[in-house]
A and B are shown apart, each in its own frame.
Chain A
Amino acid sequence: MANIIEELKNKFSGAVLEQDAAGAIFVPADKIKDIFSFLKLSYGPQFDYLSSLTAVDHLPDIIEVVYHLYSVKGNTTVVIKTKLNREAPAVASITEIYKGADWFEREVYDLFGVDFTGHPDLRRILTPEDCEGYPLRKDYSHPRIMIKPKAEVKNI
């Protein structure tokens, strides 16, 4: 893991990279495509499999997009995160590099509202076509949601 950070820092000298407590690597949003094509094509154990692409909503101002990459030859996983502005979250789409990112990015667009620039077909995938709003954001509400009454804990 330290290896990857070193290589990335050497290759992308202008980028600010830092590490999470769990070992995830934070990269700036504008360098996403370069970093991913480097990791897929030029890096030693090539990260040829995108296992997962999701997002996390941090109130009040950040949405994080999380990428999980796996290398079959090297049997390693690396987690890459970017922080986006919650007002107008946008990041480059990596569908040209990893074809599997297609529907992942559609799902993140549908549920969080992150705009993936350069995506071939960005539209809603899980919610109905006339749904307004982005359901997995923390400030989303819907008339159907009922608050469950809190059960009283009785000491018997």
Chain B
Amino acid sequence: MALINKLPVVLEKIPGGNVLLTSADTLLSWSRASSLWPLTFGLACCAIEMIATGAARYDIDRFGSGVFRASPRQCDLMIISGTITEKMSSRVKMLYEQMAEPKYVIAMGNCAISGGPFVYDCYSVVRGAELLIPVDVYVPGCPPRPEGLLYGIMKLQDKIMKESIIKGN
């Protein structure tokens, strides 16, 4: 990505260069948003709804995210679907750190947002994924319907479209 970093400096000096930059921005953000490859990270019941989202009726493939990769090195979206226990939390962090930039996280379901139904009397549940890794989109529900997860992915796509290489996002 070194060439991309030097591009704004070069292009700003050329007349008409700014127009080129915003077009390049739009192109890059659009291409990232339209092919978010998720990591297969189903932890509990929300995984079933995530699988249903990937199946034929609610097809996640029309958003470009149909290929769920098993390896964190090959994906750019981590959908944390399910309860995070203390024993699993170190693995969540490890997988997040293994993903390459730019990477995004969706916290799916009440357990990933804040501990869900386990927030009061449980000794082993981490109260929300945000205690471990930075989260971009929260999708509430127990479990959220597949349409809810798709809405979350659409919101994430809007967020990515606002990113810009000029500002270094």
A19 at the interface (CB under 8 A from B): no
Inter-chain contacts of B127 with A (CB < 8 A): 144
Asked if A148 contacts B123 (CB within 8 A), the reply is no
A52 at the interface (CB under 8 A from B): no
Q: Give the secondary structure class of B's interface.
A: loop
B87 at the interface (CB under 8 A from A): yes
A144 to B122 CA separation, bound complex (whole angstroms):
7
Chain B 110-143 interface 0/1 with A at a Cβ cutoff of 8 Å (1 = within): 0000000001111111010000000000000000
B97 at the interface (CB under 8 A from A): no
**Contacts A127-B87, A128-B86, A128-B87; A135 near B124 (Cβ below 8 A):** yes
Asked if A145 contacts B123 (CB within 8 A), the reply is yes
Chain B residue nearest to A144 (CB atoms) is B123
Asked if A146 contacts B120 (CB within 8 A), the reply is yes
Asked if B123 contacts A142 (CB within 8 A), the reply is yes
Q: Size band of the B side of the interface?
A: 10 to 19
Tell me the smallest distance from the CB of B111 to a CB of chain A, in Å.
14
Q: Give the secondary structure class of A's interface.
A: loop
Chain A residue nearest to B125 (CB atoms) is A144
Which residue of the partner chain, among B87, B120, B125, contacts A148 with CB atoms under 8 Å? Answer: B120
Inter-chain contacts of B124 with A (CB < 8 A): 127, 135
A148 to B125 CA separation, bound complex (whole angstroms):
16
Asked if A148 contacts B86 (CB within 8 A), the reply is no
Chain A 39-74 interface 0/1 with B at a Cβ cutoff of 8 Å (1 = within): 000000000000000000000000000000000000
Chain A 119-140 interface 0/1 with B at a Cβ cutoff of 8 Å (1 = within): 0000000111001000100001
A135 to B122 CA separation, bound complex (whole angstroms):
10
Asked if B121 contacts A145 (CB within 8 A), the reply is yes
Inter-chain contacts of B119 with A (CB < 8 A): 146
A8 to B114 CA separation, bound complex (whole angstroms):
53
The listed residue with most A CB atoms (<10 A of its CB), out of B86, B121, B123, B125, is B123
A147 at the interface (CB under 8 A from B): yes
Inter-chain contacts of A142 with B (CB < 8 A): 123
A-B contact pairs, 5 of them (CB 8 A): A135-B123, A144-B122, A145-B122, A146-B120, A148-B121
